[in-house]
Structure 1
Amino acid sequence: MNDAREKEATPSPEELIRLIDAVAKDKDRSAFAQLFAYFAPRVKSFLMRSGFADHMAEEVAQEVMLTLWRKASYFDPCRAGASTWVFTIASNRRIDRLRRARSRDQWPDPSDEADQPLSGEEIAITVDREQKIRAALGGLSSEQAAVVQLSYFAEKPHAEIARELDIPLGTVKSRIRLALERLRTLLDDDL
């Protein structure tokens, strides 16, 4: 029952585009409230996973949503999906915060530190996961595998994939969504 409510509450990519468009054209507060309810917790979670403390992640997530409100007219669904656009804003805000903190406090950049060598157990777990992911990818249709490869491994935007494969943008998005659902099903028990 909870899964059914969650699916109902999760807006489709097309609905997210419509909501951003309503904010851009009409400063629609209801549309913004729906976007806020959907994106704010996800952005905060993303920021916390990247190392931000709870209060800092909350503050930056608020900034991201304010940017969405102010700059919704800059969103171009032909260049990127709504989630990609919002998380790009979040990533940029994150980088800005890290740069400010580094210049103010002269904090070292974590990416400058050498990676610690993996233990034997970590290597075995990583190899096992990679094998399971490769097997799951083999369980996709050739069309789904192609869009996943181009989107996640070649890091191409959806519009570019549509042009390259000569298919509609909506088809690209649908194939990616279906592929991810299939991968989630295949990997849920394994990982």
Structure 2
Amino acid sequence: MRAIHNPDCAETELTPEDHLVLIKRIAEKRDRDAFQALFLHFGPRVKAIMQQSGADPALAEDLVQDVMLTVWSKVHLYAAERGTVSTWIYTIARNARIDRFRRRSSRPYQDLDTIEVASEECNGEDALFASQRAGLVALALEELPAEQREIIESAFVRDMSQTEIAEKLSLPLGTVKSRMRLAYTKLKAKLEGVQ
């Protein structure tokens, strides 16, 4: 692990093993140095993803703050068996972006009397199945070759088109399409029984 305590470093290079060590330190000891290292590593990456998804720099920065605050406050919810730290953080980022854009939606006002609201009571069985399903999907993603996983994450976490992915990775569009098709085939085989 390099440069995790250097506040002047704009971006650090950490391995997935480093991510796991830092998350454990945050969860177990509320270690601010570990959080700073994670922030320095993921902050610029999350901001870049947000900007690639259409957020202006100020909104992207706000979303980074939201994401990292969620990481700090919900670190106890991270489960290594469900996926890597980076997958967890990028999922938080994706959800934060979706939530923010939903709130900023320009939908016209609707009278509350005309809206039907579903019950907020959580069905324990549904929650359990959703959690298990998310864990299985994360594991299946981790088993993909790195070049296929990167394309799938770019498409679904960063919301990029195949053309944008091809440009970002300096690959022919056909290569991106074939890697995506291969990844889908592998994911489908691994997740066939998952509902």
Is contact 2:22–2:38 with CA below 8 Å preserved after alignment? yes
| 2-structure distance, mates of 1:11, 1:153 | 31
1:95 pairs with 2:138: no
**Which of 5, 13, 17 does residue 14 from structure 1 map onto?**
17
Change (3 A) 1:132 1:155: closer
Change (3 A) 1:155 1:46: farther
User: What aligned pairs does 1:33-72 form with structure 2 within 5 A after superposition?
Assistant: 33-72=36-75
Tell me, in whole angstroms, the C-alpha distance in 2 between the residues paired with 1:49 and 1:81.
Answer: 22
- Long gaps (5+) in structure 2: 1-8, 109-162
**Normalized against structure 2, the TM-score is what?**
0.53
Is 1:28 the counterpart of 2:31? The answer is yes
Choose from 65, 79, 85 the match for 2:88.
85
Contact 2:12 2:37 in 1 (8 A): no
Separation in 1 of the partners of 2:54 and 2:94?
Answer: 12
Q: Which amino acid aligns with 1:91?
A: R
Deviations 1:42-73 (A, max 9, x none): 00110000000100000011010011111111
The letter of the residue matching 1:73 is H
Relative to the length of structure 1, the TM-score reads: 0.54
Give the number of the structure whose residues are more often helix, by fraction.
Answer: 1
CA distance in 1, matches of 2:41, 2:86: 10
Letter in 2 for 1:68: V
Write out aligned runs for 1:31-180 (5 A): 31-102=34-105, 105-106=106-107, 129-132=172-175, 149=182, 154-155=186-187
Deviation string, structure 1 residues 127-171 (Cα, Å, up to 9, x no partner): x81444589x7xxxxxxxxxxx55x76558xxx79xxxxxxxxxx
| AA of the residue aligned to 1:24 | A
> Aligned pair count?
121
SS in 1 for 2:64: helix
> Residue 78 of structure 1 aligns to a residue in which SS?
helix
Give a deviation string over 1:9-61, Cα, whole Å, max 9, x none: 41110110110111011000010010000001100110000000100000011
- The DSSP-based 3-state class of the residue aligned with 1:94 is helix
